[in-house]
C-alpha cells in the first residue's frame, strides 16, 4: 500500500447527546471508531493508519484497535484541524498519498477509500468525495429572513476520506491561518485545485441521534 490514513477521532460528539466521546459511542455494539478503522484496513491500498484520539482515552483506544489493525494512536487537539495536524506529525515517512477520514463516517465502504486514493495516484493533488445536494438551499440573514436561493445544481455535499499528495497536505497545514472544518478547504486556500469524485450514501457522518439510528438500520439490512 502507498496510502496513510489520518483519522481525527477526538471530538466530543455534543450533537449526539450526552455520553462518551463520539468515536467511542456504540453502533451495533461496537464503537464508531472500530467500524471506521475496520473498513479502512480492508482497503488494499492502505499501508498505515494514525488515529487522533481524545486525550483521556488514548489507552482505551489503543486496546480497542489493536485486534482490528496495526494503528498508531496520538492525542488529538481542541479542534478538528489540530487533531489532523497531530496525526500528520506521526505519519510514517513512506506513503506518498495521505487520506484524512472522519471516525464519524463509520460505515464508509473500502471501495470509496480506494476510489479517492486512485484519483490522487492518477495525478490529482487533492481529491474529495461528494454527493449532489437534494434539498433546495436558501441563504438567510441573522433574523432568519431569506436573502436568496442558491443554484443547487452547482452545489456538492462533501464527505471523507479526502485524499492528498503528501507534500500538498503538509504544506497546506503548515500555512493554515484559521481553522476550517475540512482539509480540502485548507488546500483550496493554499491555491491547489481540488478534484471531486462520486461519494457514497454509506459514508454519512454520524452526527445526530437520527444518523445513529439510520446507521444501525443500514448495518442490520447488510447482514
Contacting residue, 80, 165, 166, 173, with ligand C5P by CB under 6 A? 80
Taking contact as CB under 6 A, which single stretch among the options 62-70, 78-86, 106-114, 172-180 is the one that binds ligand C5P? 78-86
| Three-state secondary structure call for residue 52 | strand
For residue 186, which phi and psi values (nearest 5 degrees)?
Answer: -65, -40
Does 99 bind ligand C5P (CB under 6 A)? Our answer is: no
Does 88 bind ligand C5P (CB under 6 A)? Our answer is: no
Cell representation of residue 180: 476550517
Does 10 bind ligand C5P (CB under 6 A)? Our answer is: yes
Does 185 bind ligand C5P (CB under 6 A)? Our answer is: no
Does 31 bind ligand C5P (CB under 6 A)? Our answer is: no
Q: Rounded CA gap, 12 and 23, in Å? A: 8
Does 79 bind ligand C5P (CB under 6 A)? Our answer is: yes
Contacting residue, 4, 5, 22, 124, with ligand C5P by CB under 6 A? 22
End-to-end CA distance of the chain: 29
Q: Rounded CA gap, 137 and 153, in Å? A: 11
Shortest Å, Cβ 48 to ligand C5P: 18
Cell representation of residue 93: 515517512
Q: Rounded CA gap, 168 and 182, in Å? A: 14
Cell representation of residue 177: 491561518
Residue pair 45/2 in contact (Cβ under 8 Å)? The answer is yes
Shortest Å, Cβ 126 to ligand C5P: 18
Does 161 bind ligand C5P (CB under 6 A)? Our answer is: no
Shortest Å, Cβ 151 to ligand C5P: 26
Element (H, E) at 51: strand 46-53
What is the β-pairing status of strands 162-165 and 97-100? antiparallel
Does 103 bind ligand C5P (CB under 6 A)? Our answer is: yes
Does 78 bind ligand C5P (CB under 6 A)? Our answer is: yes
**Which residues contact ligand C5P (rule: CB under 6 A)?**
8-11, 22-23, 52, 76-80, 83, 102-104, 181, 205, 207
Amino acid at each position: 500500500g502507498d496510502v496513510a490514513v489520518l483519522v481525527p477521532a477526538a471530538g466530543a460528539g455534543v450533537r449526539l447527546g450526552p455520553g462518551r466521546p463520539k468515536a467511542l459511542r456504540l453502533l451495533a455494539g461496537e464503537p464508531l471508531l472500530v467500524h471506521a478503522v475496520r473498513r479502512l484496513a480492508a482497503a488494499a491500498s492502505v499501508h498505515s493508519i494514525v488515529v487522533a484520539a481524545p486525550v483521556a482515552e488514548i489507552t482505551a483506544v489503543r486496546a480497542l484497535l489493536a485486534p482490528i489493525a496495526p494503528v498508531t494512536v496520538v492525542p488529538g487537539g481542541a479542534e478538528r484541524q489540530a487533531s489532523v495536524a497531530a496525526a500528520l506529525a506521526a505519519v510514517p515517512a513512506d506513503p506518498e498519498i495521505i487520506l484524512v477520514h472522519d471516525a464519524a463516517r463509520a460505515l464508509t465502504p473500502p471501495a470509496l477509500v480506494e476510489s479517492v486514493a486512485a484519483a490522487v495516484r492518477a495525478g490529482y493533488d487533492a481529491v474529495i468525495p461528494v454527493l449532489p445536494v437534494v434539498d433546495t438551499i436558501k441563504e438567510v440573514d441573522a433574523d432568519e429572513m431569506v436573502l436568496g436561493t442558491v443554484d443547487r445544481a452547482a452545489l456538492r455535499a462533501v464527505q471523507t476520506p479526502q485524499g492528498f499528495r503528501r507534500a500538498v497536505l503538509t504544506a497546506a497545514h503548515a500555512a493554515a491561518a484559521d481553522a476550517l472544518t475540512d482539509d480540502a478547504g485548507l488546500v483550496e486556500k493554499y491555491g491547489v485545485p481540488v478534484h471531486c469524485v462520486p461519494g457514497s450514501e454509506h459514508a454519512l457522518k454520524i452526527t445526530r441521534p437520527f444518523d445513529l439510528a439510520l446507521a444501525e438500520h443500514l448495518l442490520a439490512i447488510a447482514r
